[in-house]
Amino acid sequence: MWLTTYFQNKGVAATGLSPLIRIRDMEDGIVVSSGTMSELGDGIYSFDFAEYDIEKDYAILCDAVTLPTGNRYKFLSSGEYGNVIDTVGLLSDNIEIRTLLVKKILTNKMELEDGALDNWKLYDDDNTSVLATWNVTDKTNGSIEEQHNSNSRRTRGQ
């Protein structure tokens, strides 16, 4: 899985850096991967996290080393202990980890209910806890009403 981040200094893209990255397993705190990030250009840096396991949660620290303290560090924690699931955008401190939520959107139970507020529900792996909701309306911004024989539910794994 590729991790990317953006570094800037005084509002300008920071180029020519060699940021260090350290990734810890949240369960035991052991560093599972580390190295130097590659520059893509325009202040964007990336790292191939080959050891990534979707079943584990990680704490990720990127250190630009030579930048002033306010711009030097980027941090993100993944999984239920971080903000990966809590934010649909999944962009925290400019490090993207979208894999877990995308997997859940593609495979977990979803339901569309009558109404216009929080009527599209994505369930967590247990099929009972609501993980995220969205407001879905018809093309005139009106409430959704289910039609007879419409397929508005998907069970896990479909």
pLDDT digits 0-9 by tens, 94-131: 444 556 667 777 788 888 888 777 778 888 888 888 88
Q: Which residue has the higher pLDDT, 21 or 77?
A: 21
- Does residue 82 carry a pLDDT above 50? no
In the chain, what are the domains? 2-104 (2.60.40), 108-158 (no CATH)
Q: Of 19-33, 53-67, 72-86, 142-156, which gets the smallest average pLDDT? A: 72-86
pLDDT of residue 36: 97
pLDDT of residue 105: 77
- Does residue 60 carry a pLDDT above 60? yes
pLDDT of residue 148: 61
Distance (Å, whole) CA 63 – CA 81: 21
**Cα within 13 Å of Cα(146), Cβ side:** 12
CB atoms within 10 A of CB 122: 19
CA distance to 43, 62, 65, 143, per residue, from 16 (Å): 8, 15, 12, 52
CB atoms within 10 A of CB 56: 13
pLDDT digits 0-9 by tens, 12-58: 999 999 999 999 998 899 999 999 999 999 999 999 988 887 778 88
Contact 91, 101 (CB under 8 A): no
Distance (Å, whole) CA 93 – CA 139: 35
Residue 146 three-state SS: coil
β-pair type (38-41, 44-48): antiparallel
CA distance to 39, 82, 126, 140, per residue, from 20 (Å): 11, 21, 37, 50
